[in-house]
Structure 1
Amino acid sequence: MGSLPERKPACTARPRVVLLCSPCMGHLIPFAELARRLVSDHGLAATLLFASATSPPSEQYLAVAAALPDAVDLVALPPPPPDLLPSSAPERARVELAVASNLPRVRELARELAADAPLAALVVDMVGVPARGVAAEMGVPFYMFFTSPWMTLSLFLHLPGIDAARAGEHRDATEPIRLPGCVPIHAHELPASMLADRSSDTYAGFLSMAKAVKGVDGILVNTSRDIEPAVGEGLGGLELPVHPVGPLVWTRPVGVDRDHDCMRWLDRQPRRSVVYVSFGSGGTLTWQQTAELARGLELGQCRFIWAVKRPHQSSTIGAFFGTQKGEDISLDFLPEGFMERTRGMGFVTQSWTPQTAILGHPSVGCFVTHCGWNSILESVTNGVPMIAWPLYAEQNMNAAMLEVQVGVAVRAKVGVDRFTSKEEVVSAIQRVIVGKEAERMRKRASELKDKVVHALSKDGCSTRTLAQIAKSWKCINRK
């Protein structure tokens, strides 16, 4: 999965959608699923270009590549030359450079693909909007696929207006931002790019990106109206078609994950008794917080699966670009004797875990999550209540929405220095596993599961929406 498809006669080739994904694993997974659906359900061909930030590709990228059907062509674009930006540069800068440095290659590949089959559309994430010129040159529709929730997109689209109306720093605001149909967004819940000084390059880049979105022909959002009823509301004079096509979660062939050790361990556990703990492909805790979480799991005497990563003292996104084979796999950061004392009660792994399969197992009753949108959607589609432990990006906003509006999560309480105690770990797990509050969340999670599964069924609203978009791309292509 690193090369372009073989040439076919133009008269028999399907119209092809080119998708450009920035080097964010949280973007690649829904992009891969969108490409798969365009091919399998809507009669298009798909080439997914991944703008790499590291070489060789991460373990997570390789796992996605291995799971994609042959009909989807996944191409890893080369990372930027090291002399353009040091590896110590902020993740945001490295992400943007990975895309910008590959735009000439994207243009070249688009031309090559167009020689074999008609191009139907170019689809990018929010970082890929500068590729608009490629779509214009090829004469195809230019769409953005927003892989986070509608609430975040709404904030993003409203940012130029908020910026013009507000004085002072966003982080100092005493009044929350109120967007149509969304929970109020308090200052401490804003994404890091909005918490930065408004005179900084970080904030200026984020604002510029928000303004540039006006140049797209439409926006696909990885959500559904069952989760966010206000999708598309309150855009005012911003005439941008917004289409909810989710939740698109990672689909793997049935049974492919059954041989994983953790699945066999789950088979031996009672129904809804296991707490699954994972902070996504990029999230990291400090040494102190990792040890405190371990103490909480031990103190609560609960069954658990913990997809643990090596701590990072200065960053909550210490594994943002994924992990490489051969990295340190020792567990010396866990409390002494923890593994021995929890043997049989817990399952700890540092390797890749089949998260969707884990969340779909009847033994799992609770998910401790960083509130990355992919993880939330995987939990929702499997009817599993959550403990929200946000770390970065829009995750604090997601946590507020899950608890206040959707009703399928409780937020882990934080104390001094954003630290969560072992006692709070125990308390949060108890709230989600046992009692009336847990029963209410399970009922709500089950109802929501049924709705979103239907949204993605053959006659569901998300499937119909994507079918209409695919049909419009084919019609434009024929014209």
Structure 2
Amino acid sequence: MTTSELVFIPSPGAGHLPPTVELAKILLDRDQRLSITIIVMKISLGAKHDTESATPIPRLRYIDIPCDESTMALISPKTFLSAFIEHHKPHVRNIIRSIIESNSVRLAGLVLDMFCAPMTEVANEFEAPTYIYYTSGASMLGLQLTLQAKRDEEEHDVTELKGSESELSIPTFVNSVPAKVLLDVLLDKEGGSKMFLDLAKTFRESKGILVNTFQELESHGVDYLLSSNADIPPVFPVGPILNLKNATNDGKTDEIMTWLNDQPESSVVFLCFGSMGSFSEKQVKEIAVAVERSGQRFLWSLRRPPPKGKIEYPKDYENPEEVLPEGFLDRTSSVGKVIGWAPQTAVLSHPSVGGFVSHCGWNSTLESIWCGVPVAAWPLYAEQQLNAFQLVVELGLAAEIRIDYRRNVGPEETEMIVTAEEIEGGIRKLMSDGEMRKKVKEMKEKSRLAIAEGGSSHAAIGRFIEHVISE
């Protein structure tokens, strides 16, 4: 039996590598004819995703490309990703060549993270098919492809919508999409918009696009992408693909779980803003006032922002009292707990958690649905404003704090401040809206059925495997 080898190339970062590893495990579990190599392009941003300590899995191997000084020299907010991918092409080329020359497997294709689509150039050199792994949702994919087509066929310039009150008609959304929830990168006249839409152009050259979503969550968007008038390669909605095993962190998980065990069912609001989520001292104080006034039990993952202008992960405060209102920790000690790093999936899975104040990153969105916990939407960056719009307006699965929030606004990079009143209102709605809670519980069941045998995502995985094997 010939083994068909897939080479996965994920983007660096917490939102990309873990779901890539989970997808690889699912594929290997489903079909003995597959083997997978994951090429890990390492980057030092102050958080580790250690593949060396991962439990060995048959037919899965990791090849790490170390992070050196030449890699770190590429890090600037404007050009980082495209320069990073370009820098790694020679390394990837050598790895692919060695796989082919080994003659032990048939190279069935490269599965490229959405941001690694430029690696298609390397695949083409070896006449290897490429597939895209899109780690956001189907609606977002549709928006990216639509705006790319409008640019190339109608000379539409999306950057002109910056600061506008316009709305766009996007076929993967039921409602018109306000320009104010578009990604910052799409509105960037200095090359960011071109880079992002060029990625979509490359998606169209692939043999197929795997999307981390499921038919029942984004039925309107998925139906459009699967229709003949979408004019794109086959789309495989294979989600939710989740990394449900949180690594423990210095015994902190046990302490957090012990505290949650003492709280009543569905009573705790969990505030957590993702691997890059942090706020200024001024904003932290507004959150604290809102949480205290709401009277809700809370678990708050509070992180220190990186130094201005640096791209790195936030760190824990040694003493959170330095940024919290005076006496806050004493006054709320009977109902709340302020922590640093949080084992997010373990917390969301706990029966005492009744609501999630979230940045609406796509992985966090899928985790909240999987755990049946409604969200209060407070997006920060990337496509999170669009995810928040989708959760609040399109799906009714979230309350709004402020869906058009942007961390930095204007030429002076002034921070937008969300008031305690807005935050308190979002928390109260989050914890009291019975209709929203009911919808989230129903979607939780649908998410689990989707990946079970006979489910929509289970079937999509099967179609993808046959596509790869027969290619």
Tell me if the contact between 1:221 and 1:246 (Cα under 8 Å) persists in the aligned partners: yes
Indicate yes or no: 2:428 matched with 1:439: no
Indicate yes or no: 2:92 matched with 1:106: yes
- Counterparts of 2:201 and 2:12, CA distance in 1: 22
Specify whether residues 58 and 339 from structure 1 end up closer, same or farther in structure 2 by C-alpha distance, changes over 3 A only: same
Specify whether residues 344 and 110 from structure 1 end up closer, same or farther in structure 2 by C-alpha distance, changes over 3 A only: farther
115-124 or 150-159: which moved more? 115-124
* Partner amino acid, structure 2, of 1:179: I
- Counterparts of 2:242 and 2:46, CA distance in 1: 20
* Partner amino acid, structure 1, of 2:177: I
Indicate yes or no: 2:433 matched with 1:474: no
- Counterparts of 1:396 and 1:338, CA distance in 2: 30
SS of equivalent to 1:390? coil
252-261 or 267-276: which moved more? 252-261
Match of 2:305 in 1: 311
Match of 1:193 in 2: 185
Deviation at 1:119, TM superposition (A): 2.3
SS of equivalent to 1:59? coil
Match of 1:464 in 2: 459
- Counterparts of 2:427 and 2:232, CA distance in 1: 44
Specify whether residues 266 and 321 from structure 1 end up closer, same or farther in structure 2 by C-alpha distance, changes over 3 A only: same
SS of equivalent to 2:295? coil
364-373 or 114-123: which moved more? 114-123
Tell me if the contact between 2:40 and 2:64 (Cα under 8 Å) persists in the aligned partners: yes
Specify whether residues 17 and 148 from structure 1 end up closer, same or farther in structure 2 by C-alpha distance, changes over 3 A only: same
* Partner amino acid, structure 2, of 1:339: L
SS of equivalent to 2:162? helix
Indicate yes or no: 2:79 matched with 1:93: yes
Match of 1:177 in 2: 168
SS of equivalent to 1:305? strand
After superposition, give the CA deviation of every residue in 1:194-250 in whole Å (9 maximum; x if it has no partner): 2222xx222222232222222211111111111111215167463321111111111
Tell me if the contact between 1:287 and 1:313 (Cα under 8 Å) persists in the aligned partners: no
* Partner amino acid, structure 2, of 1:428: G
Specify whether residues 128 and 453 from structure 1 end up closer, same or farther in structure 2 by C-alpha distance, changes over 3 A only: same
After superposition, give the CA deviation of every residue in 1:406-465 in whole Å (9 maximum; x if it has no partner): 11101104899632222222221111112xxx1111110011111111001122110111
> Alignment partner for residue 226 of structure 1, among 216, 222, 229?
216
> Alignment partner for residue 331 of structure 2, among 336, 341, 365?
341
Deviation at 1:341, TM superposition (A): 2.5
Identical columns (%): 32
- Counterparts of 1:128 and 1:343, CA distance in 2: 46
Indicate yes or no: 2:371 matched with 1:372: no
188-197 or 360-369: which moved more? 188-197
Match of 2:42 in 1: 52
- Counterparts of 1:69 and 1:444, CA distance in 2: 39
Tell me if the contact between 1:122 and 1:141 (Cα under 8 Å) persists in the aligned partners: yes
- Counterparts of 1:77 and 1:329, CA distance in 2: 33
Match of 2:120 in 1: 132
Match of 1:448 in 2: 443
* Partner amino acid, structure 2, of 1:196: D
Specify whether residues 107 and 312 from structure 1 end up closer, same or farther in structure 2 by C-alpha distance, changes over 3 A only: closer
* Partner amino acid, structure 1, of 2:145: L
Deviation at 1:387, TM superposition (A): 0.1
- Counterparts of 2:13 and 2:457, CA distance in 1: 24
336-345 or 176-185: which moved more? 336-345
Specify whether residues 22 and 328 from structure 1 end up closer, same or farther in structure 2 by C-alpha distance, changes over 3 A only: same
Match of 1:77 in 2: 65
Q: How does 1:196-215 map to 2 (within 5 A)?
A: 196-197=188-189, 200-215=190-205
Indicate the structure whose relative CO is greater, using CA pairs within 8 Å and at least 6 residues apart: 1
Aligned-pair RMSD on alpha carbons? 2.9
Specify whether residues 14 and 265 from structure 1 end up closer, same or farther in structure 2 by C-alpha distance, changes over 3 A only: farther
After superposition, give the CA deviation of every residue in 1:114-143 in whole Å (9 maximum; x if it has no partner): 413322221011221121133234443210
Match of 2:412 in 1: none
Tell me if the contact between 2:137 and 2:211 (Cα under 8 Å) persists in the aligned partners: yes
Unaligned runs of at least 5 residues, structure 2: 410-414
- Counterparts of 1:73 and 1:83, CA distance in 2: 23
* Partner amino acid, structure 1, of 2:270: Y
Unaligned runs of at least 5 residues, structure 1: 1-10
Pairs aligned (count): 449
- Counterparts of 1:294 and 1:70, CA distance in 2: 44
Deviation at 1:278, TM superposition (A): 0.7
- Counterparts of 2:29 and 2:185, CA distance in 1: 37
Specify whether residues 411 and 152 from structure 1 end up closer, same or farther in structure 2 by C-alpha distance, changes over 3 A only: same
SS of equivalent to 1:250? coil
135-144 or 214-223: which moved more? 135-144
Deviation at 1:323, TM superposition (A): 5.5
